[in-house]
Amino acid sequence: MKSKFIMLLAAGFAMLAGCTTVGTATSTTAAPLTTQQKLTSLAMSVNKQCTVALPFLATMKQVQTDPNALKIATDLDNAAVKVCGLASGYVAAPIVGTTAPAFSLADVQTFVNSNVPQLITLVQSSTKLTAAQKTAAELGITGAQTILAIAVANAQ
C-alpha cells in the first residue's frame, strides 16, 4: 500500500511539474512584472508543488525505521511545511485581507538547493522501495525541483 502511494505521489509530482506555469512578461509591449507580482507567481508555483510534496514527505517520515533517516525526513518535512506555509499565506493575504508573511526567494532557493537533494538521498537509501519505485520517486522529485528552480529564476 505504501509503495503504491509513493508511486502515485511521484506521478503527482511529475504531473504538477508539467502543469506549473510561471508568469513572465513575454511580449515586448507588456510592462515588466513588479517584484510583488514575481513573488506572487513564485508563491503560486510553490503552492502547487506543496499539494504533492507535503503528503509525500509525511509518508516518507512514516516509513522510516532508521533513526538517522527519520531525523532527515522530519527535518525535510519541517522545511517544506515552513516554505509551503509562507507561500500559501503570501498568496492568500490579499484575498482574505491580511498582511502577507515574509515570503522570499531565499526561502525557496534554500529548499530547492539544499532540502530537495536530501530528499533524493533519502529515497535512494530507502530499504522499503524497489528500484523502480526509487526511480519513479526520483524523477518526480527532480521534476518538481526543476519547476521550482525555474520559478525562482523567473522571480529574480
pLDDT for res 103? 87
Taking only the tens place, the pLDDT of each residue in 122-138 is: 899 888 889 999 999 99
Assess contact for 11 and 51: CB atoms under 8 A.
Answer: no
Domain ranges in the chain? 2-18+35-155
d(CA 103, CA 101): 6
Per residue in 24-40, pLDDT (tens digit) is 545 567 788 888 888 89
Q: What is the C-alpha R_g of the chain? A: 16
* DSSP secondary structure letter of residue 29: T
Read off the amino acid at residue 111.
Answer: F
Query: What mean pLDDT do residues 43-58 have?
Result: 90
Task: Give me the mean pLDDT over the 61-90 stretch.
Answer: 90
Residue 97 in grid coordinates? 485581507
CATH of region 2-18+35-155: 1.20.120
Q: Which of 105, 59, 72, 61 is nearest to 86 (CA)?
A: 105
